[in-house]
Amino acid sequence: MKEIQDKIKELIALNADNDYEKFDERFNKQEKLFKELKALAKKNKTLLGRILRFGVADGDAAYVITRVNKNSVSTQFIDYVDGYSDWHLGRGKGNLALHKAKALIEFEDIFDK
C-alpha cells in the first residue's frame, strides 16, 4: 500500500506543474502513473489509487482515490489535459459514495476487457 500512496503523492504533485511548455511531459507522466496505479490497485484488490474519470465538455475530469472509507471514497482532483473538473467533486478534495466509485471502476474494468 505504501507504493500506491507514494505514486498518488507523485501524481498529485504534478498538479502544480502547469507550465504549458512542459504539457507533453506532464501528460506522459500522468498517463504512466494512471497505468501503474491501476495495476497496483488491481494487484492489491483495492480502490485506493484508482482513477475516476467523468466526461466533461470534450474531455474528462480526472480524480484519484486517496482513501477508501466504510461508505465513501476520498478523492483528489487531477489537473489532467484541459483541467476539467466535475461539478460534484470540484477542483480539490472530495468524497463520493463507495457504491458509486465501485460502479465506475467496475464499468472501466469491464470496458477494458
73 pLDDT more than 80 = yes
Residue-by-residue DSSP string for 5-54? HHHHHHHHHGGG---GGGHHHHHHHHHHHHHHHHHHHHHTT-STTPEEEE
Tell me: the pLDDT tens digits for 14-46? Answer: 998 878 788 999 999 999 999 999 999 999 999
Give the pTM. 0.93
Query: Which pLDDT score is estimated for 52?
Result: 97
Considering its fold, how many domains does the chain have in total? 1
For 26, other C-beta atoms within 10 Å of its C-beta total: 18
Query: Which pLDDT score is estimated for 60?
Result: 93
The length of the chain in residues reads: 113
Query: Which pLDDT score is estimated for 44?
Result: 97
Residue 53 or residue 19, greater confidence: 53
Domain hosting 32: range is 2-112
